[in-house]
Amino acid sequence: MLDIRIALECYALRLTIPHMAEEDLDAAESILEGYNLEANPEGWGAMNWQFHWAIYAPCHRPRLLGMIEANYGHVNRFVRTQVSLAAGKERPRKEHELLLSLCREGDIGQATSLLETHIEQTKKSVQASRRHKI
């Protein structure tokens, strides 16, 4: 599922950056501000999804967005909380902030590279947590 996520979401981000308005960027930043204040790992997962959705929505590709949403829907709330606990809050927070900055700068190459690394690291964290039952 995370491999599919990488493919779909990196493609969406590549398409969306040229279409992002200041309002889109501000909305994503507002979500990150809430994420930074959230203490509950269940909340981190929900806000993570809101942030990612906010940066993909401007691509204006309904089918692609539908596929991203469907892939996300296959992950239940328990697993999303496990992902949040495995990844922690600090690394994703920093990566989200850098990702948003790269979107503001219009740097498609670095933004998509960071997004791929971001999701790949999440995948590794989940696998490690399963091995060590964290």
Q: Using CA of residue 34, residue 97, residue 11, residue 18, what is the dihedral sign?
A: positive
User: φ and ψ at 6, to 5 degrees?
Assistant: -55, -50
Question: pTM to 2 decimals?
Answer: 0.87
Whole-angstrom Cα distance, residue 120 to residue 89?
16
The stretches in the chain having pLDDT less than 50 are none
Q: Ramachandran region of residue 40, left (φ > 0), alpha (ψ -120 to 50) or beta?
A: beta
Domain coordinates of the chain in residue numbers? Answer: 2-132
pLDDT for 73: 80
Whole-angstrom Cα distance, residue 102 to residue 121?
19
pLDDT for 68: 96
70 by DSSP, 3-state: which? Answer: helix
pLDDT for 95: 95
pLDDT for 109: 98
User: φ and ψ at 58, to 5 degrees?
Assistant: -65, -5
**What is the CATH architecture of 2-132?**
Up-down Bundle (1.20)
